[in-house]
Amino acid sequence: MEIYIDGYCPESLIKGELVEMRLNKDDFWESEATGLQMIVFPPFATILRWRGKGKFRQSSDVASNSLVGLVMTEANQEVGKEIFPDEESIINNNFELERYLGKIYNSKKELDATTFNP
């Protein structure tokens, strides 16, 4: 049974905290507390593999006002497709969510450093 996004930070929710996600300057939804980033490609909400920098848009709305009922997925790992959902990697429970969160990098630069570039 997949997990559906309700607009709040999924990482904070598993810790029992209700934290808003707001649009950042890169047009990703970012947690105000953890930097966790998501992007939406309905019917999917994809957790990106790197954290944001806390640079939010001035007039950004919060995700809880508009993102409800989307299926949570891991991000595609193919180079150049890192922001797209991996439709085969739907997050089904908190255990899978915690496992995936453990693989998220602190920055895009850190993620890129792990990628082989011929």
Express each pLDDT in 39-59 by its tens digit. Answer: 999 999 999 999 999 999 987
* Dihedral sign from CA coordinates of 84, 44, 22, 9: negative
Give a yes or no: residue 117 inside a domain.
no
Give a yes or no: residue 19 inside a domain.
yes
Cα(11)–Cα(114) distance, integer angstroms: 23
Decide if pLDDT at 117 tops 70: no
Give a yes or no: residue 116 inside a domain.
no
Domain with 15, as residue range(s), is: 4-110
Mean pLDDT across 55-83: 91
Residue 115: predicted pLDDT: 76
**Is residue 24 very low, low, confident or very high in pLDDT (cuts 50, 70, 90)?**
very high
As given in the structure block, the two tokens for residue 62 are 């919060």
Give a yes or no: residue 43 inside a domain.
yes
Taking alpha carbons only, the member of 47, 42, 93 closest to residue 69 is 42
**Residue 91, SS3 per DSSP:** coil
For the chain, the straight-line distance linking the first and the last C-alpha, in angstroms and rounded, comes to: 39
Give a yes or no: residue 37 inside a domain.
yes
Domain count, the chain: 1
